C-alpha cells in the first residue's frame, strides 16, 4: 500500500488529519474538537479540498460510528477503512520508530470506541503489521450518564465504590448521588468503559482534588502535581481471565485509598501510591504478556501518558526489566497521533 494515496481523518476531540502520497506524509493543522461547529466546518472544507485534489485511494478514519470525522468519511466514494482508536495509538509509535517486529502496546487514555462496542481506554494489545489482538484491559466500569462523567468525575468514584464513596462527596447533593446509584442499579444510561483516564478522574474526586473540573484533565493534572518520587508504596489490585483477556480489577486499589483516608494519611502520599499502582499494573501485565508471547518490544501511547510521573516510572521499570520501550517522539502521545496510526494501519492491513 506504500504506493497509494491515503487520507487519514484522525480523531474527533483533538483532530489533526494526515495525507500520505506513497511514503511522503503531510500532516494537516491542529484543528481541535470537531464538536465545535466552527472547527468542524473548517475540517470539512479542508478534507473536501484534499479529496477533490488528490482523489485518495483510501480514506482511513476512527471506528467510532458517531464521530463527526467518521460520518464525513462515509460521504465519499473512495475506499473506506475504519481503524480502532487504540490500535491507531500504538501503530503511530510503530510508524515513528519504523518498528518491524510485533510489540506489546499499552494504550491508556480517556476513551475510544472498542471493537466490542464498549468504550476502551486501558488496553494492552499485541500489534503487528497484520493488525492487533486485545490481550488485557482494565476492568469495565459503568459510566453513569455516559460522557457526563467527564464533566462530573465524582460519578466515577461512585461507579467503582458505590455507597462506600458517598461519604467522601459531601459537596455533591444527596439526591444526585442517589440518582447515580439508582441509574447503575437499573443499568440506565450507564455504558461500560475500561478507561484508564476515568480511574484518574475517580482518584482525584475521592481525594477531593477535583469533583467539578473547570478545564480538561484538571483532576489528573492536580493529582500528578502532588506526587513524590521518594514514595515507593502502592496499592493492591487483582487480575482475572475474562473472555480470553486478562481483566485488571482496581477495586482493591480504591478500597486501599479509602483505608488511607480513614487513617488520615496525607493526600500527596495517597496520590503517589495511586500512581505507583497504575505503573505496577503496566509493568506486571507487560511482563506477563511478554512471557506468554516472547515479545520484548513495548509501545506506550495515549493521553494518559502525558502524565510525566507515570510515564517516566513505567519506562524506567520496563527498561530495567530488559524491555525496549518506545513512545511517541514526533507526534504527541494524545489523539493528535491518531491519523498517523490510521495511515500506518492502512498501509499494511487494508486490502482496498
Interval 115-140: pLDDT, tens: 999 999 999 999 999 999 999 999 99
Q: Buried (b) or exposed (e) across 84-106, using 16+ Cβ within 10 A? A: bbbbbbbbbbbbbbebeebbbbb
CATH class of 5-99+332-349: alpha beta
pLDDT at position 1: 52
* 260-300 pLDDT, tens digit each: 999 999 999 999 999 999 999 999 999 999 999 999 999 99
Domain segments of the chain: what residues?
5-99+332-349, 141-327
Q: How far apart are CA 3 and CA 44, in angstroms?
A: 26
Q: Coil, helix or strand for 204?
A: helix
H/E stretch holding 138 reads strand 131-138
- Per-residue pLDDT, 36: 97
Q: How confident is the model at residue 23 (pLDDT cuts 50, 70, 90)?
A: confident
Q: Which three cell numbers stand for residue 65?
A: 460510528
Architecture category of domain 141-327 in CATH: 2-Layer Sandwich (3.30)
C-alpha 9/C-alpha 260 separation (Å) is 45
> What's the pLDDT tens digit per position in 173-197?
999 999 999 999 999 999 999 999 9
Segment 224-236 mean pLDDT: 98
pLDDT of residue 2: 65
In the predicted structure, residue 350 carries a pLDDT above the cut 80: no
Instruction: Please report, rounded to a whole number, the percentage of residues in the chain having pLDDT higher than 70.
Output: 99
pLDDT for res 22: 87
What pLDDT is stored for residue 199 in this prediction? 98
Residue 93 has pLDDT above 70, yes or no: yes
Say how far apart CA 313 and CA 294 lie, in whole Å: 23
Same fold, 5-99+332-349 and 141-327: yes
Q: Are 147 and 235 in contact (CB under 8 A)?
A: no
Q: Give the C-alpha separation, 218 to 221, whole Å.
A: 5
For position 346, what pLDDT does the model report?
95
The rounded distance, in Å, linking the Cα atoms of 220 and 166 is: 20
Mean pLDDT of 105-116: 97
The β-bridge partners of 81 are 60
Q: Which helix (H) or strand (E) holds 49?
A: helix 37-54
Mean pLDDT of 79-96: 97
| pLDDT score for 3 | 78
Distance CA 50, CA 352 (A): 19
Task: Give tens-digit pLDDT for 236-257.
Answer: 999 998 878 999 999 999 999 9
At residue 351 the predicted structure's pLDDT band, cuts being 50, 70 and 90, is: low
Task: Name the residue among 277, 271, 129 with its Cα closest to residue 196.
Answer: 277
* Cell, residue 78: 473512495
User: What pLDDT shows up at residue 238?
Assistant: 97
Average pLDDT over residues 15-22: 96
Give the C-alpha distances (Å, rounded to integers) separating 53 from 49, 72, 231: 6, 17, 56
Which of 148, 112, 110 shows the shortest CA–CA distance to 132?
A: 112
Q: Compare 82 and 351 and report the one with higher pLDDT.
A: 82
Whole-prediction pTM: 0.97
* Backbone angles phi and psi of 22, in degrees to 5: 65, -125
Query: Whole-angstrom Cα distance, residue 350 to residue 139?
Result: 31
In contact, 60 and 345? CB cutoff 8 Å: yes
Q: What is the mean pLDDT of the chain?
A: 96
pLDDT above 90 as % of the chain: 94
Cβ within 8 Å of residue 345, ≥6 positions away: 60, 81, 83, 87, 88, 91, 131
Residue 178: partners with Cβ closer than 8 Å, 6 or more residues away:
none
The average pLDDT across 73-96 equals: 96
Distance CA 61, CA 257 (A): 39
Q: Quick one: average pLDDT of 295-310?
A: 98
133: CB partners within 8 A, 6+ apart: 125, 126
DSSP-assigned states of every residue in 247-300: EEE-HHHHHHHHHHHHTT--HHHHHHHHHHHHHHHHHHHHHHHHHHH---EEEE
Amino acid at each position: 500500500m506504500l504506493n497509494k494515496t491515503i487520507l487519514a481523518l484522525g480523531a474527533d476531540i483533538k483532530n489533526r488529519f494526515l495525507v500520505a502520497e506513497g511514503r511522503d506524509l503531510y500532516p494537516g493543522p491542529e484543528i481541535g474538537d470537531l464538536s465545535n461547529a466552527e472547527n468542524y466546518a473548517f475540517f470539512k472544507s479542508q478534507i473536501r479540498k484534499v479529496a477533490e485534489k488528490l482523489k485518495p485511494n483510501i480514506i482511513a478514519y476512527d471506528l467510532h460510528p458517531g464521530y463527526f470525522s467518521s460520518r464525513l468519511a462515509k460521504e465519499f466514494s473512495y475506499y473506506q477503512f475504519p481503524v480502532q482508536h487504540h490500535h491507531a495509538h500504538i501503530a503511530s509509535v510503530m510508524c515513528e520508530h519504523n518498528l518491524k517486529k510485533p510489540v506489546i502496546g499499552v494504550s491508556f487514555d480517556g476513551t475510544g470506541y472498542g471493537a466490542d462496542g464498549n468504550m476502551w481506554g486501558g488496553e494492552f494489545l499485541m500489534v503487528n503489521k497484520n493488525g492487533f489482538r486485545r490481550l488485557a484491559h482494565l476492568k469495565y466500569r459503568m459510566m453513569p450518564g455516559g460522557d457526563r462523567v467527564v464533566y462530573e468525575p465524582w460519578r466515577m468514584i461512585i461507579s467503582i465504590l458505590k455507597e462506600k464513596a458517598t461519604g467522601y462527596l459531601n459537596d455533591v447533593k444527596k439526591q444526585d448521588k442517589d440518582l447515580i446509584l439508582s441509574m447503575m442499579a437499573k443499568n440506565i444510561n450507564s455504558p461500560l468503559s475500561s478507561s484508564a483516564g476515568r480511574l484518574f478522574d475517580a482518584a482525584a474526586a475521592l481525594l477531593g482534588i477535583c469533583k467539578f473540573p473547570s478545564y480538561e484533565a484538571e483532576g489528573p493534572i492536580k493529582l500528578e502535581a502532588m506526587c513524590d518520587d521518594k514514595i515507593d508504596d502502592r496499592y493492591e489490585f487483582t487480575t482475572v481471565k475474562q473472555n480470553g483477556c486478562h481483566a485488571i480489577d482496581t477495586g482493591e486499589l480504591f478500597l486501599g485509598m479509602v483505608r488511607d483516608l480513614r487513617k488520615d494519611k496525607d493526600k500527596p502520599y495517597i496520590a503517589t501510591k495511586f500512581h505507583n499502582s497504575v505503573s505496577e499494573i503496566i509493568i506486571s501485565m507487560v511482563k506477563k504478556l511478554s512471557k506468554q508471547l516472547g515479545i520484548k518490544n513495548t509501545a506506550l501511547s495515549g493521553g494518559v501518558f502525558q502524565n510525566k510521573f507515570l510515564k517516566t516510572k513505567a519506562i524506567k521499570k520496563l527498561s530495567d526489566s530488559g524491555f525496549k520501550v518506545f513512545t511517541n517522539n514526533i507526534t504527541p502521545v494524545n489523539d493528535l497521533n491518531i491519523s498517523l496510526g490510521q495511515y500506518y494501519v492502512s498501509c499494511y492491513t487494508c486490502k482496498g
